[in-house]
Amino acid sequence: MKQAELAAINKKAWEADAYATWVKAYGTPDEQAAILKADPKKKLGRILPHLDSLQGKIIANPLGSHGRVAVSMALLGAEVTVFDISEPNARYGLELANAANTSITYVTSDFIKSTEDKQYNQHFDLIILELGILHYFLDLDSFIEALSQILKPNSQLILNEFHPLNRKGFQEDTQVFTGDYFDSRTQTVPVAYADFHKTPELLPPCLVRNWTLGEVVTSFAQNNFRIEKLVELATRQNPKVPAQFTLVASKVANPT
């Protein structure tokens, strides 16, 4: 399977009923905007400890979904561009930004294809990726090369992602691992907003490829990034079980 085929499958899932589901989950754009305006830092709680001021920063938010992270950053003074494959996601995000009296930009396309546009070469001061990103790419190196292409030299990337142990089959409540950590096959899974949908069984599924933590770190290290920090985060229900990780890396200006 090629990346374009996987992207087409996932685009269908993400455009099935996303807008209505975000309204059900988070309220109308007006309602959600009021929440974000009251405390824009709250939605950024997992990434703020790794950031300086966002004021004036030009930020890329690949696979930024419904735009809540992007709008929060815009409210803190950033210029944010969301790359996302779903038109309904873009609709919710743009309406959310407008309701919050700020603005963000959406590029609605497959991310790697979007970066072929030379206007984004070394354009961004910072890249923020949050939760449920990497598994949408069959070739991790190609994705990370695209990230490097749009980031300015010596600039930073922050990835907050689901921990592979969780994604690959760790049972949080029993602490029993039932999956295959090294399984490299693509898997059919419910679309991420299915939990909020009234009839999730009717939604088209997504196709994903889960990566190990070693594969993730190695791919960044081999594709023009210097790893500065890797923080593993426990689940709220069980502090003995990893739920997420945050990787902080900077683009190497003159790779040898």
What is the CATH superfamily name and number for domain 3-251?
Vaccinia Virus protein VP39 (3.40.50.150)
CB-neighbour burial class of residue 212 (10 A; exposed 0-12, middle 13-18, buried 19+): middle
DSSP-derived pairing of the beta strands 124-130 and 151-162: parallel
* Residue 169, pLDDT above cutoff 90: no
Nearest to 58 by CA among 44, 76, 79, 34: 79
Q: Are 51 and 40 in contact (CB under 8 A)?
A: no
Cα separation, 25 vs 201, in Å, equals 17
For residue 25, what pLDDT is reported?
A: 96
Cα separation, 157 vs 177, in Å, equals 31
Give buried/exposed letters for 176-201 (b at 16+ CB in 10 A, else e).
Answer: eeebeeeeeeeeeeebbbbebbeeee
Angle at 117 between CA 141 and CA 132, to 5 degrees: 45
Residue 246 vs residue 118, higher pLDDT: 246
Angle at 211 between CA 205 and CA 214, to 5 degrees: 170
Element (H, E) at 81: strand 79-84
For residue 255, what pLDDT is reported?
A: 61
175 HSE (CA, 13 A, CB side): 6
Which residues fall within 8 angstroms of residue 81, CB to CB, at 6 or more apart?
58, 59, 60, 61, 104, 105, 106, 107, 124
First vs last C-alpha separation in the chain: 33
Which pLDDT tens digit goes with each residue over 176-222? 777 899 999 999 999 999 999 989 999 999 999 999 999 999 999 99
Give how far Cα 227 sits from Cα of 92, 95, 140, 147, Å: 34, 36, 16, 14
Q: At what angle do helices 87-99 and 68-75 cross, to 10 degrees?
A: 30
SS3 assignment, position 250: strand
What is the pTM assigned to this prediction?
0.95
Which pLDDT tens digit goes with each residue over 109-134? 999 999 988 899 999 999 999 999 99
Mean pLDDT, the chain, integer: 93
